[in-house]
């Protein structure tokens, strides 16, 4: 009897929820805002779906309906990826420790 | 590239995303964590492009759109003032939601390229997964737009309620489940579009009854939704990176919502089902005005703080509105020159999103080891000479401990009333978001400073 590959993906999903649970609880509360912006950026990995939709379509027609939605999703996800990571970087650069000599 | 190799690369980028979140456990490791996240993203995007292997005209368009989106995103990231961070995050959530909807639409219209079957004959499991992804994505999209408008002040922050609201939401929710069921039976395109449309409506209806100060919960919740939407699409596309990320983001948002609700001692459903401000108006209005209030000016405040040995600063949303963080830092610097010990106390729900105050203080160059969370600093108020409350209100209200009738009863508060004197910077005596009077205003050891937070802080600095 063979196991449906869906079950494997479900296992990954469930285990990742637990990983997420423990990792996020260890995030220091002062970094909760950067946490939100970085989760925002990484959830835009949904762009891989958009890339497939736009590249793998019918080669006779660059813009069929499916690929147009793909391209739109690429723009949206790109805004998020660049915006999310950069704004996180900008915020994290501001967190400084007390200078010792003061 | 073989499918196995591709899957391994996706796994690697999933692990890098985990490390990105792991880095946030302390500010020192956080920057490296962000770098891991960026590398994970680059890997995911590159291997996807290589695996499709189409480098003709479509590829050129892809790069162009990537640059267009990236430029917009980069521009926003550098221009946005830190006080506008809640709106920005809400806006970004809406984009993830809409992107999920768009990917689901292209998968529905052209299932062959994703190996999901053929139009009109899509695998049932895939259809369920993409419907869930699209529905949650659509809810995230409109919900975040509403949250954005409320945070930006374009739409009023007060809750919008109407009779039968919960019933309507329930009906629409059942309708969504029904639509997914019939979509699987008939594979009808119209049902798919209706599903998305109704989810858009649900997103609006879910967020409009929630008031401005509950936004920390809403933003966290939408953060969570955007994760679940991504996971739904991840299942459709059979993509490990997307499944792992979706689960991470989903649980992250859920934990943040939980922390925010706990900070207000309210249940999640209590927040979601409607705001405070609307219901509790009646009980609050009677007692103001009559009681005597001591008010002072900048010189009084400066005198008090200069002669104190320790001062605790309690910032709130009002500080963000007045953009007073830099002025505050200047004041603290001159206090320190006078030998005063200064620390900052942050309530979990201060501001409009989790960690909002911390970012603003970091922006003003306040070292993060002077900033403390509620549990870590609450005992220090008893030994502190002056508590300087700037733009916070409900989170300091002792009524939460004393009056079981009060709507905020049981909410953890910062014990500012225990310090020898309390300075309250506020524009007027008006009650805070919860609509209840703050007992603290009328206490013997409280000095009210009626002014704009930024102006008052600047004046105090001058008199120091």
Note the pTM of the prediction, 2 decimals. 0.90
Task: For residues A99 and B365, give the distance between their C-alpha atoms in angstroms, rounded to a whole number.
Answer: 11
Question: What confidence score (pLDDT) does residue B213 get?
Answer: 75
What percentage of residues in chain A have a pLDDT greater than 90?
68
User: What does the longest C-alpha to C-alpha distance in chain B come to?
Assistant: 78
- Identify the CA nearest to B85 among candidates B331, B328, B325, B333: B325
Task: For residues B383 and B419, give the distance between their C-alpha atoms in angstroms, rounded to a whole number.
Answer: 6
Task: For residues B464 and B443, give the distance between their C-alpha atoms in angstroms, rounded to a whole number.
Answer: 25
Half-sphere exposure of A46 (CA within 13 A, CB side): 45
Question: What confidence score (pLDDT) does residue B317 get?
Answer: 87
- Identify the CA nearest to B256 among candidates B346, B355, B358, B357: B355
**CA-CA-CA-CA torsion sign (B381, B260, B145, A68):** positive
Bridge partners for B122 per DSSP: B117
Question: What confidence score (pLDDT) does residue B403 get?
Answer: 81
Question: What confidence score (pLDDT) does residue B283 get?
Answer: 41
Kindly state whether B107 is in contact with chain A, defined as any CB-CB distance less than 8 angstroms.
yes
What percentage of residues in chain B have a pLDDT greater than 70?
95
Is A46 in contact with B242 (Cβ distance < 8 A)? Answer: yes
pLDDT tens, residue by residue, B137-168? 999 999 999 999 988 888 887 788 788 888 88
The bridge status of strand B121-122 relative to strand B117-118 is antiparallel
Question: What confidence score (pLDDT) does residue B409 get?
Answer: 82
DSSP assignments along chain A, one per residue: -PPPHHHHHHHHHHHHHHHHHHHHHTS-GGGHHHHHHHHHHHHGGGHHHHHHHHHSS-TT-SS-HHHHHHHHHHHHHHHHHHHHHHHHHHHHHH--PPPTT-
How far, CA to CA in Å, does B461 sit from each of A80, B297, B300?
40, 12, 12
What percentage of residues in chain B have a pLDDT greater than 90?
47
Kindly state whether B17 is in contact with chain A, defined as any CB-CB distance less than 8 angstroms.
yes
pLDDT tens, residue by residue, B218-265? 999 999 999 999 999 999 998 999 999 999 999 999 999 999 988 888
Is B27 in contact with A92 (Cβ distance < 8 A)? Answer: yes
Question: What confidence score (pLDDT) does residue B285 get?
Answer: 41
Is B18 in contact with A23 (Cβ distance < 8 A)? Answer: yes
The Cβ of residue A93 has, within 10 Å, a number of other Cβ atoms equal to: 12
**Residue predicted with more confidence, B290 or B213:** B213
> Is the separation of the CB atoms in B172 and B202 below 8 Å?
yes
The answer, yes or no, to whether residue A77 has pLDDT greater than 70, is yes
Query: pLDDT category, B287, cuts 50, 70, 90?
Result: very low
The residues near B362 (Cβ < 8 Å, ≥ 6 apart) are A30, A91, A94, A95, A96, B368
Task: List the strands of the sheet with B341-346, edge to edge.
Answer: B371-373, B341-346, B310-315, B386-390, B421-426, B446-450
Q: Which of A21, A45, A69 sits opposite B242 (nearest CB)?
A: A45
pLDDT tens, residue by residue, B385-405? 999 999 888 888 888 888 887
pLDDT tens, residue by residue, A28-75? 999 999 999 999 999 999 999 999 988 887 666 767 888 889 999 999
Q: Which residues of B touch A14 (CB under 8 A)?
A: 247
Q: Which residues of A touch B80 (CB under 8 A)?
A: 87
Q: How far is A4 from chain B (nearest CA, A)?
A: 11
Q: Which of B249, B251, B358 sits opposite A21 (nearest CB)?
A: B251
**CA-CA-CA-CA torsion sign (B400, B224, A90, A31):** positive
Average pLDDT value over all residues in chain B: 87
Question: What confidence score (pLDDT) does residue B436 get?
Answer: 72
The answer, yes or no, to whether residue B286 has pLDDT greater than 80, is no
Is B24 in contact with A34 (Cβ distance < 8 A)? Answer: yes
Half-sphere exposure of B72 (CA within 13 A, CB side): 17
pLDDT tens, residue by residue, B400-448? 888 887 777 888 889 888 888 898 888 877 766 666 778 888 888 888 8
Q: Which residues of B touch A11 (CB under 8 A)?
A: none
Half-sphere exposure of B118 (CA within 13 A, CB side): 0
3-state secondary structure of B387: strand
Is A82 in contact with B240 (Cβ distance < 8 A)? Answer: no
**Residue predicted with more confidence, A102 or B148:** B148
- Residues of B recognised as catalytic: 394
Question: What confidence score (pLDDT) does residue A99 get?
Answer: 63
pLDDT tens, residue by residue, B53-107? 888 888 999 999 999 999 999 999 999 998 889 999 999 999 999 999 999 999 9
């Amino acid at each position: 009897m063979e196991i449906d590959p869906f079950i494997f993906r479900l296992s990954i999903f469930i285990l990742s929820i637990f990983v997420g649970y423990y990792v996020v609880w260890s995030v220091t509360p002062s970094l909760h805002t950067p946490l939100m912006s970085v989760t925002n950026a990484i959830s835009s990995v949904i762009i891989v779906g958009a890339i497939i939709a736009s590249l793998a379509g019918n080669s006779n027609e660059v813009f069929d309906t499916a690929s147009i939605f793909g391209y739109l999703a690429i723009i949206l996800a790109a805004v998020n990826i660049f915006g999310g990571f950069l704004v996180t970087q900008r915020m994290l650069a501001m967190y400084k420790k007390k200078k010792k000599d003061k | 590239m073989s499918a196995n190799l591709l899957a391994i690369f996706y796994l690697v980028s999933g692990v890098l995303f985990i490390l990105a979140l792991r880095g946030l456990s302390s500010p020192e490791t956080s920057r490296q964590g962000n770098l891991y996240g960026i590398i994970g993203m680059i890997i995911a995007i590159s291997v996807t492009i290589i695996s499709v292997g189409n480098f003709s005209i479509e590829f050129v368009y892809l790069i162009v759109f990537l640059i267009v989106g990236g430029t917009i995103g980069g521009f926003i990231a550098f221009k946005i003032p830190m006080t506008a961070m809640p709106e920005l995050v809400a806006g970004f959530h809406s984009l993830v939601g809409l992107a999920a909807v768009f990917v689901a639409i292209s998968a529905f219209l052209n299932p062959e390229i994703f190996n999901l079957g053929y139009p009109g004959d899509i695998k049932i499991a895939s259809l369920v997964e993409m419907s869930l992804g699209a529905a949650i994505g659509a809810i995230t999209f409109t919900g975040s737009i509403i949250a954005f408008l409320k945070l930006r002040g374009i739409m009023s922050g007060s809750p919008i309620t109407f009779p039968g609201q919960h019933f309507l939401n329930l009906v629409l929710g059942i309708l969504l489940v029904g639509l997914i069921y019939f979509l699987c039976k008939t594979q009808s395109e119209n049902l798919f579009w209706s599903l998305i449309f109704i989810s858009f409506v649900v997103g609006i209806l879910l967020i409009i009854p929630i008031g401005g100060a509950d936004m920390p919960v809403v933003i966290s919740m939408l953060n969570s939704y955007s994760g679940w939407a991504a996971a739904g699409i991840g299942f459709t596309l059979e993509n490990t990176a997307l499944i792992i990320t979706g689960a991470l983001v989903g649980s992250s948002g859920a934990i943040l919502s939980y922390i925010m609700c706990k900070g207000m001692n309210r249940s999640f459903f209590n927040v979601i089902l409607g705001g405070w401000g609307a219901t509790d108006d009646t009980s609050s209005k009677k007692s103001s005005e009559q009681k005597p209030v001591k008010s002072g000016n900048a010189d009084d405040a400066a005198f008090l703080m200069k002669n104190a040995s320790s001062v605790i600063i309690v910032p709130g949303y009002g500080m963000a509105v007045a953009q007073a963080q830099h002025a505050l830092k200047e004041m603290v610097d001159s206090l320190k020159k006078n030998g005063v010990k200064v620390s900052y106390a942050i309530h979990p729900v201060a501001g409009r999103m989790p960690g909002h105050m911390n970012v603003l203080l970091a922006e003003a160059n306040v070292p993060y080891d002077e900033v403390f969370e509620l549990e870590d600093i609450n005992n220090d108020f008893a030994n502190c000479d002056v508590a300087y409350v700037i733009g916070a209100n409900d989170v300091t209200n002792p009524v939460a401990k004393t009056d079981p009738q009060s709507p905020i009863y049981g909410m953890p508060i910062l014990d500012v009333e225990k310090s020898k004197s309390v300075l309250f910077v506020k524009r007027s005596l008006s009650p805070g978001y919860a609509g209840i009077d703050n007992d603290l205003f009328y206490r013997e050891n409280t000095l009210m400073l009626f002014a704009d937070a930024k102006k008052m802080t600047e004046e105090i600095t001058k008199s120091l």
